[in-house]
Each structure stands twice: as structure tokens, then as C-alpha cells.
């Protein structure tokens, strides 16, 4: 009996001690500071913005969600922000898009100055003539009233520049391409082997249209590499975007004077 009473007394004391400790634990509660910005992440609201979310690198296979405006500029870099929601609950993973660093123009892009436009242009050449400014990479189709329709072009690379005056002797839609023997040998020395002949089509380097100049091998033609417009990359021919060379082709007749300078 005495032993049972002692055990009961010990149990009661233990309960009282536990209650006292529990009360002591919460007598001084830590202050909770809530950020006025209730749209901020949960962990940022608590602590008035002094608490920073934990950032982890993106793991392979993680679904990426980004601002659609950034997607238009290319695939943005994405990081994960993990926000805890409780001691035993699973964290919420929020995808946050980071600004992509700026890079030079990629394939498919063109400097806006090389897009077709009507400009003021003073020249002694008659309306309907073509003047090609190889230094500035512009082709001018002379119009009445001191105006010209200007197109961006690609021109001959170093060592392949030329100047002179010719006329358009032939026009061809979706021309085939027979590389000159000199070009074949030159490219073979670099390890690039050209076909003996290529039918017209989207993959053809001459593009959608060609206007042949005099009895030379030079042409004003389209291209399968529009991102090269504005550059000196050809073997002497004048190249335009396919949509631009098609527009020019429809405005130019056989016999048109072409001045290259």
C-alpha cells in the first residue's frame, strides 16, 4: 500500500513538473513580424523580408515554368525556390525565371536596318536602275522623286570584292546551282566537298530567285542562310533574303542596269 502511494505521488509530481515546463516554454513567445507585401513568398513575409528563401539548382527532369515574355527571348534559366509549409508537410517548389544574359544575334534574326524600306536617295542613275553599295551592304532600286527602295544584302568576302556595271541578262525562279570548278577546288582544300550540281529548292544556296549579271558568274540571288545578310560572306554574288529577292525580282526586268560599287 505504501509503495503504491509513493508511486502515485511521484507520478503527480512528474505531471506538475511537466505542466510547469510547458507553461515556462511559452511564457515568452518570439515576435512574429509580417511583411506588408502579402504577395511576397511565405518565408519572405515572416521576418519582414529578412528571411531569404533557400535556392537550389534545377534538377534534371524538373518541369520548368517561366514568364512567357521571357520565353519569347529564348529559353530562360530557371531556379527552384523551396518554401516550407510546416514541420511535416511537403515543401512547395516554386519555379522562378531568371533573366537570360544577352547574346549576339542568333540564326534567323536580322538587323532591322537591313529590312526593306523606302529611303531618300540621290543618284544620277535612272529610276528602275539598281545600285549596290557593297561597303554598307545595301541594294537600292532607284525610284522617282529622289527615293529608292532599299534592301539589305550580303556581299563578297575579303578577296572576292568587285565593282562594275552590268545588266540583268536572265532571271530564274528557284534556280539550280552548279558550283564553278574554282570554288569546288577551293572548298575541297578546306575539307568541304560541294555537289557537282544542286536542284533548286529551299536548301539551295541561290535561294528562291536569281538575276544573272551580264556574262559573268555573278548573280543577285536569294539565300538559304538569311542570318548572313549584312555580312561579307559570298564568293562575289549579291544575296538577299528569299522574301526580299522575290519582291525585287518582280520589280526588275531583263535589261535593267546594275551598278556595283
Q: Is 98 in contact with 120 (CB distance < 8 Å)?
A: no
The active-site residue, picked from 4, 8, 166, 237, is: 237
Q: Is 258 in contact with 240 (CB distance < 8 Å)?
A: no
4 counts as catalytic: no
The active-site residue, picked from 4, 8, 192, 221, is: 221
How far from 8 is each of 1, 12, 197, CA to CA, in Å?
11, 6, 105
The pLDDT of residue 28 is: 58
Can you spell out the DSSP letters for the chain?
A: -HHHHHHHHHHHHHHHHHHHHHHHHTTSPPP--B-S-TTS-HHHHBTTT-SPPEEEPPPTT------HHHHTTS--EEEEEEE--SSSSPPEEEEEEEPPPP----TT---GGGS-EEEE---SSPTT-EEEETTTTEEEEE-STTEEEEEE-BEEPTT----EEEEEEEEEES--B---HHHHHHHHHTT----S-B-SSTTSTT-SEEEEETTSS-EEE--S-GGGTTSEEESS-EE--HHHHHHHHHH--TT-EEEE-
The pLDDT of residue 104 is: 34
192 counts as catalytic: no
What are the structural domain ranges in the chain?
40-103, 112-260
Q: Is 174 in contact with 165 (CB distance < 8 Å)?
A: no
Q: Does domain 112-260 have CATH number 2.40.440.10?
A: yes
Average confidence (pLDDT) per 10 residues, the chain, 261 residues: 50 50 52 53 47 46 42 41 45 39 49 96 97 98 98 96 97 89 78 79 94 96 96 95 98 98 97
In angstroms and rounded to an integer, the radius of gyration of the C-alpha atoms of the chain is 37
Can you spell out the DSSP letters for 37-100?
A: -TTS-HHHHBTTT-SPPEEEPPPTT------HHHHTTS--EEEEEEE--SSSSPPEEEEEEEPP
Distance CA 104, CA 214 (A): 38
Amino acid at each position: 500500500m505504501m509503495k503504491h502511494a509513493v508511486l502515485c505521488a511521484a507520478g503527480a509530481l512528474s505531471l506538475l513538473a511537466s505542466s510547469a515546463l510547458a507553461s515556462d516554454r511559452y511564457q515568452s513567445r518570439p515576435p512574429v513580424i509580417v511583411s506588408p507585401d502579402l504577395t511576397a513568398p511565405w518565408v519572405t513575409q515572416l521576418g519582414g523580408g529578412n528571411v531569404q528563401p533557400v535556392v537550389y539548382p534545377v534538377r534534371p527532369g524538373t518541369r520548368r515554368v517561366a514568364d512567357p515574355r521571357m520565353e519569347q527571348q529564348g529559353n530562360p534559366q530557371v531556379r527552384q525556390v523551396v518554401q516550407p509549409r510546416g514541420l511535416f508537410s511537403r515543401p512547395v517548389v516554386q519555379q522562378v525565371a531568371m533573366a537570360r544574359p544577352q547574346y549576339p544575334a542568333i540564326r534567323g534574326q536580322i538587323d532591322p536596318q537591313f529590312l526593306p524600306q523606302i529611303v531618300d536617295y540621290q543618284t544620277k542613275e535612272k529610276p528602275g536602275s539598281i545600285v549596290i553599295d557593297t561597303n554598307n551592304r545595301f541594294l537600292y532600286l532607284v525610284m522617282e522623286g529622289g527615293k529608292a527602295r532599299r534592301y539589305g544584302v550580303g556581299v563578297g568576302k575579303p578577296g572576292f570584292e568587285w565593282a562594275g556595271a552590268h545588266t540583268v541578262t536572265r532571271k530564274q525562279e528557284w534556280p539550280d546551282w552548279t558550283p564553278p570548278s574554282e570554288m569546288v577546288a577551293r572548298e575541297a582544300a578546306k575539307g568541304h566537298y560541294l555537289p557537282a550540281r544542286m536542284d533548286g529548292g529551299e536548301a539551295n544556296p541561290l535561294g528562291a530567285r536569281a538575276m544573272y549579271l551580264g556574262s559573268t558568274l555573278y548573280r543577285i540571288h536569294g539565300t538559304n542562310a538569311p542570318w548572313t545578310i549584312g555580312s561579307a560572306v559570298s564568293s562575289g554574288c549579291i544575296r538577299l533574303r528569299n522574301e526580299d529577292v522575290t519582291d525585287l525580282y518582280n520589280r526588275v526586268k531583263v535589261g535593267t542596269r546594275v551598278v556595283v560599287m
